[in-house]
Amino acid sequence: MPPRHSGDAGQAFPIYITVVGGLLFLAFAYFAVGQAAANRNGAQTAADAAALAAAQERRDQLSGAWLESLLDPGKWQDIFDGMADGLRPSCWRAEQLAASNDATVLSCTADGLLSYTVEVQTNKTVGDSIVPGTETKKSRATASAVIESRCGFELPATDAEEKDVKLPTLNCEGGADWELNPETPEDLLPKPEDLFDVHLAD
């Protein structure tokens, strides 16, 4: 058996150290990438929730305006198009939802009457990693949500001698037809989600 030379082991040791060091570097790099991705995903989740919340708040206001105008069908279409008296700002709901997702709203904009765009920033940074400059880096994300009417109707012919108020039938998506009359109890009237659909913009 040939003699074992201690020099062979000595030569292998630096290679071993180099390989282990490379593997550790890759592990830390993947960890840093994972941290950044998680932070970005958190920002996008917060932005989506905030935009939807602002749009849902406006939807609820429009639904309330429709109930108040139940006996005046001439105002219905304006409400379904997003126009109603007494509408209040809705971005406070975006701020609430962003905060619950550990983020801050940077901007909240009503894009027309039936759409909101919200930009948020995470409160947490990416954190320490081997990537320089990430210690104070925060992620940002933007999302838009839209409100769409789910119902249509036809105004009945008016008759000056007609004493009883005749309300149009609401034909809503999903095959729901609402036969309305002034005596309909409020709990049997369409809910906000029956009248309007809220979803993230494509």
pLDDT digits (tens, 9 = 90+) for 44-92: 999 999 999 999 999 999 999 999 999 999 999 999 999 999 999 999 9
CB atoms within 10 A of CB 140: 14
Residue (of 40, 38, 4, 14) closest to 141 by Cα position: 40
In this structure, what are the phi and psi dihedrals at residue 93, rounded to the nearest 5 degrees?
-70, -35
The residues that bridge with 23 in the sheet, in sequence order, are: none
Nearest to 127 by CA among 139, 118, 117: 139
- Order the strands of the 176-178 sheet from edge to edge: 151-152, 170-172, 176-178
Please give the mean pLDDT across all residues of the chain.
83
The stretch 142-162 carries a mean pLDDT of: 84
Task: With residue 178 as reference, give the H or E element that holds it.
Answer: strand 176-178
Residue 38 has pLDDT above 70, yes or no: no
What percent of the chain has a predicted confidence (pLDDT) above 90?
58
DSSP 3-state of 145: strand
Q: Give the pLDDT band of residue 153 (cuts 50, 70, 90).
A: very high
Confidence (pLDDT) at 47: 97
CB within 8 A of 167, min separation 6: which ones?
A: 70, 71, 73, 156, 180, 181, 182
This prediction has a pTM of: 0.77
Asked whether residue 134 carries a pLDDT value surpassing 80, the answer given is no
Residue 131 pLDDT = 54
Q: What is the pLDDT of residue 137?
A: 83
